[in-house]
A = this chain, B = another copy of it.
Amino acid sequence: MTEHSYGSGYYALLREAAGATWQDYVGHEFVRGLGDGSLPKQAFLNYLKQDYVFLLHFSRAWALGVVKSGSLDEMKTCAATVDALVNHEIQLHVQVCAAEGISENELLETREEFENLAYTRFVIDAGLSGDFLDLMAALAPCVFGYGEIGKRLQADHNADTPYKEWISTYSGNDYQEVCSTVALMLENAVTARLGPDAQDLPRWSALSERFCRATELEVGFWDMGLRLGKLGL
């Protein structure tokens, strides 16, 4: 299995359509800094705080997935994802931040940066304006990109990097399994609606565009991480 092979089918097509933007995302300077340890601590901590706010809205977007599901299986996957995010992942974030001296209160008072706001509201609006597939196309870059980054960095990182825990989280079995489950759901969801040749329909361009836009917004999120690192906490 190659690093990008979550769902060899429709997901692979979306990822391919994002082209160079996808590489800008998964190979971003911020990502390289996590792997070789060169990322300033300040940048990482500010990223964590923004990511906390991100997770709140990302959970809302996944909840919209339950609202828009077309089958019980889709509902189950989305509902489990929401619960995992809200009742576990966010808590994990709180702990990691606490270890770095950032209290939950400070997290809650994090001022949401524009790049952060733009990204999550774009995803939520994909859900409001489109259907389940539009929402999934906008959610996919975050889910699969972090999985791919995790595996990349796991395979190739500096032994001294202080960001090993972050790398373990996203390269670990738990997260990789989430990716596989979501990839399977995405594949089935597209097929169940658009059949085996979805990529030939005009509909596919719209889905690709949403995926690409969300990928650009991921790049913007990393850019923000670097920018905030220069500003101090």
Contact = CB atoms under 8 A, between A and B. Distances in A.
Interface of A: 56, 59-60, 63-70, 72, 75-76, 78-80, 82-83, 85-87, 90, 108, 114-115, 117-118, 121-122, 124-125, 128-131, 134, 191-195, 200-203, 206, 217, 220
A90 B66 CA distance: 14
Contacts of A114: 114-115, 118, 217, 220
| Identical chains bound together, number | 4
A76 B66 contact: no
- The list of the 7 closest CB pairs from A to B, nearest first, reads A63-B66, A121-B121, A118-B118, A131-B131, A83-B83, A79-B86, A63-B63
Contact residues of A: prevailing secondary structure: helix
Contact of A82 (B82, B90, B201): B82
Given A59-B66, A75-B86, A131 B130 contact: yes
A192 to B, nearest CB: 6
Contact of A128 (B85, B87, B128, B203): B128
B206 A195 contact: no
Contacts of A59: 66, 75, 79
Contacts of A202: 191-195
A70 B206 contact: yes
Nearest to A64: B67
B66 A86 contact: yes
Contacts of A194: 194, 201-203
B87 A129 contact: no
A189 B24 CA distance: 34
A128 to B, nearest CB: 6
A72 B70 CA distance: 27
A69 to B, nearest CB: 8
Given A59-B75, A60-B69, A80-B83, 4 more contacts: A79-B83, A82-B83, A117-B118, A131-B131
A87 B82 contact: no
